[in-house]
């Protein structure tokens, strides 16, 4: 539909020039097209209110004038209703252009090259070492990876960075706790769970013996200065944590190009602190070094503590400079909780004040909180749900459902895994990312509602229909029925949906679009006999529509980290 919008915009501009003597910007017309809420109002509409200030005519006059002169092969008719210019697209356009185009392009349908030659760095997931990989990390992980896949789909080279929380005074506490109470065999067996127990015990003991805090700081200082024993322990802790995280990443289909965490930038921060000093940006505040941002209505950005140690902004600044030098990014995208908005606003501004010309290429993509059945999650209170446990629960329940519905299904375990994981991801990505999400397992696993299983089942249905139909040559594409045209119209929106999702960093655009495709396909499937139609051209065309749906869903589902089972 993107190409048709461009052609219609050019025609509108041409008629406006002839009728009113004014030139119109094509891109502005294209971006203003709307889809009418009712088919009786056409397939596309353009609000002529936007042209009134330019053409100095009322919107009704403009719409009526253009409608009367509009003659275009792909448009059956153009009408004027309430200041809107409404277009009724010819059935032949959907059959000869949209349907044929999808089948010809296949896996490339919906792709563009808007990002060709440019690199995007994406910073997402970023769990803390020695801490459980819990549901609170799900947002950054799946939103970030979906945004990465969307950018790759439109031609960008993408670098996914897992900026691990692997540095800081907490590791002095972890090392001391292990040295005092740890057991290597227990930690190897228990992994992160055992490390968390040791960390919790440290805080319990420190309340009784405050001297432990000083000893922990000393252990971290030893780590910072290269003590071999502490470095070995720290590397071991990192390895154990990543082993647990990777099990969940593998199930989710999440991959990274770099695991450079906070520790990677320890030798790169002094240079940036020096730049801040040379620029006269650092000020002392109760012994700490800060950048005053009061002029920009923000609190000061802390760069160094009173003891000279660094903080998150220091590391983030060093990381951004390193990434620009290493990858020469067109954009560097950070996917984190909306609770960190101020943090990113502050250090983005500091980057700008330091004179770096890539400051406007830094993008923070915030997302809302997640709760489980209405209960908010909090690490400190112990109300934590691990990602692996949530996925396990979903897969187990899906398997139980499928054993009732399809007890003889081959590869039941593999399919249950794909649907269970998909249910969790789809449910999370269905709403606008900035909104808070309340995860309800029963809704997520429904095969009948707005869910991942519903979408995957629709895809599997197209696969089975195509397998049953076999190869049938199409001599002429025929689209006659209302539900055929509605399906073709929805399929035509895929490319512009992807571009919208990329522009707004909004995977939910694709998720909701997938549901729109599934609803349109199921109506078509219900209303139009596919393999039993009397006319061979009709059978072939409906199989072609099914194939086009299969292509679109097959291209769209992976963009939101979903698998595509061919049989359910």
Q: DSSP assignment, residue 566?
A: S
Domain C-terminal end among 252, 275, 301: 252
> β-strand 288-291 against 282-285: which pairing, if any?
antiparallel
Tokens of 378: 């909090």
SS3 of 127, please?
coil
Instruction: Print pLDDT tens along the chain (568 aa).
Output: 788 999 999 999 999 999 988 888 999 999 899 999 888 889 999 999 989 999 999 999 999 999 999 998 899 999 998 899 999 999 889 988 899 999 999 999 999 999 999 999 999 999 999 998 988 899 999 999 999 999 999 999 999 999 999 998 899 999 999 999 999 999 999 999 999 999 999 999 999 999 999 999 999 989 988 999 999 999 999 999 999 999 999 999 999 999 999 999 999 999 999 999 999 999 999 889 999 999 999 999 999 988 888 889 999 999 999 999 999 999 999 999 999 999 999 999 999 999 999 999 999 999 998 888 766 654 444 457 889 999 999 999 999 998 888 888 888 999 999 999 999 999 999 999 999 988 888 899 988 889 999 999 999 999 999 999 887 777 678 888 999 999 999 999 999 999 999 999 999 999 999 999 999 999 999 999 988 877 888 888 999 999 999 999 999 999 999 999 999 8
Q: How far apart are CA 454 and CA 451, in angstroms?
A: 5
| Residue 153 resides in a domain | no
CA-based radius of gyration for the chain: 28
Domain C-terminal end among 226, 252, 278: 252
Q: How far apart are CA 122 and CA 96, in angstroms?
A: 39
Name the pTM for this structure.
0.92
Residue with tokens 């051209």: 537
Q: How far apart are CA 500 and CA 516, in angstroms?
A: 16
SS3 of 528, please?
coil
Tokens of 179: 């040295």
| Residue 347 resides in a domain | no
* 403 and 395 Cβ atoms separated by less than 8 Å: no
b/e 20-47 (16+ beta carbons within 10 angstroms → b): beeebeeeebbebbeeeeeeebbbbbbe
Nearest to 383 by CA among 57, 136, 41: 136
Domain, as residue range, for 64: 2-89
- Give the start-end residues of each E strand in 249-330: 282-285, 288-291, 301-304
Tokens of 54: 């330019």
| Residue 21 resides in a domain | yes
What CATH number should be reported for the domain holding residue 19?
Answer: 3.30.1360.70
- Give the start-end residues of each E strand in 245-346: 282-285, 288-291, 301-304, 331-337
Q: How far apart are CA 434 and CA 286, in angstroms?
A: 36
Domain C-terminal end among 66, 89, 112: 89
* 288 and 235 Cβ atoms separated by less than 8 Å: no
- 136 membership: H or E segment, kind and range: none
Q: How far apart are CA 311 and CA 256, in angstroms?
A: 25
Residue with tokens 């095969």: 447
Q: Count of domains in the chain?
A: 2
Q: How far apart are CA 75 and CA 93, in angstroms?
A: 8
pLDDT of residue 67: 94
pLDDT of residue 376: 60
| Residue 390 resides in a domain | no
Distances (CA, A) of 288 to 247, 306, 310, 350: 41, 4, 10, 16
Nearest to 545 by CA among 217, 186, 102, 235: 102
* 326 and 340 Cβ atoms separated by less than 8 Å: no
Q: How far apart are CA 155 and CA 405, in angstroms?
A: 41
| Residue 401 resides in a domain | no
- 438 membership: H or E segment, kind and range: strand 437-439
Helices (H), 225-311: 228-252, 269-278
pLDDT of residue 367: 96
Nearest to 485 by CA among 45, 105, 97, 95: 95
| Cβ-Cβ contacts under 8 Å for 423 (sequence gap 6 or more) | 394, 398, 444, 445, 451, 452, 453
């Amino acid at each position: 539909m993107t190409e048709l919008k461009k052609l219609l915009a050019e025609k509108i501009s041409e008629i406006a020039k002839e009728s009113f003597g004014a030139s119109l910007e094509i891109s502005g017309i294209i971006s203003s097209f709307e889809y009418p809420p009712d088919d009786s109002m056409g397939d596309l509409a353009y609000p002529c209110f936007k042209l009134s200030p330019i053409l100095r005519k009322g919107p009704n006059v403009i719409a009526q004038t253009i409608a009367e002169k509009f003659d275009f092969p792909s448009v059956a008719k153009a009408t004027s209703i309430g200041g809107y210019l409404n277009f009724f697209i010819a059935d032949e356009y959907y059959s000869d252009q949209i349907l044929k185009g999808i089948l010809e392009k296949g896996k490339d349908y919906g792709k563009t090259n808007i990002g060709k030659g440019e690199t995007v760095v994406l910073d997402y997931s970023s769990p803390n070492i020695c801490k459980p990989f819990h549901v609170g990390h799900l947002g950054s992980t799946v939103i970030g990876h979906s945004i990465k896949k969307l950018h790759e789909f439109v031609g960008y080279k993408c670098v996914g960075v897992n900026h691990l929380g692997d540095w800081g005074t907490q590791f002095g506490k972890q090392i001391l706790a292990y040295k005092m109470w740890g057991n290597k065999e227990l930690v190897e067996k228990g992994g992160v769970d055992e490390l968390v127990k040791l960390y919790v015990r440290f805080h319990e003991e420190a309340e009784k013996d405050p001297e432990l805090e000083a000893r922990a700081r000393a252990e971290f200082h030893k780590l910072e200065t290269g003590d071999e024993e502490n470095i070995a322990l720290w590397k071991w802790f990192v390895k154990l944590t990543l082993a647990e995280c990777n099990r969940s990443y593998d199930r989710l289909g999440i991959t990274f190009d770099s695991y450079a965490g906070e520790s990677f930038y320890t030798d790169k921060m002094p240079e940036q602190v020096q730049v801040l000093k040379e620029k006269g940006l650092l000020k002392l505040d109760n012994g700490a070094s800060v950048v005053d941002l009061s002029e920009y209505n923000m609190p000061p950005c802390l760069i160094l503590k009173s003891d000279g140690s660094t903080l998150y902004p220091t590391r983030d600044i060093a990381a951004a400079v390193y990434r620009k030098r290493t990858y020469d990014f067109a954009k560097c995208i950070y996917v984190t909780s909306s609770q960190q908005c101020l943090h990113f606003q502050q250090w983005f501004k500091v980057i700008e004040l330091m004179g770096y010309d890539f400051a406007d290429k830094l993008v923070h993509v915030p997302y809302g909180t997640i709760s489980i059945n209405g209960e908010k999650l909090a690490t400190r209170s112990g109300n934590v749900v691990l990602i692996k446990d949530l996925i396990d629960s979903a897969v187990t329940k899906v398997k139980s459902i499928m054993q009732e519905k399809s007890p003889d299904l081959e590869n039941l375990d593999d399919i249950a895994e794909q649907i269970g994981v998909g249910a969790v991801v789809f449910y999370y990505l269905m709403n606008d990312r900035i909104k808070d999400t309340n995860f309800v397992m029963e809704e997520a696993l429904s095969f009948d509602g707005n869910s991942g299983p519903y979408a995957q089942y629709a895809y599997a249905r197209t696969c089975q229909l195509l397998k049953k139909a076999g190869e049938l040559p199409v001599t002429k594409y025929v689209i006659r029925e209302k539900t055929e045209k509605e399906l073709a119209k929805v399929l035509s929106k895929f490319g512009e949906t992807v571009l919208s999702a990329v522009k707004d960093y909004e995977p939910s655009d694709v998720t909701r679009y997938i549901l729109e495709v599934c609803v349109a396909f199921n109506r078509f499937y219900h209303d139009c006999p596919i393999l039993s139609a009397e006319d061979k051209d009709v059978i072939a065309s409906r199989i072609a529509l099914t194939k086009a749906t299969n292509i679109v869903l097959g291209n769209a589902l992976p963009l939101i980290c979903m698998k595509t089972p061919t049989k359910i």
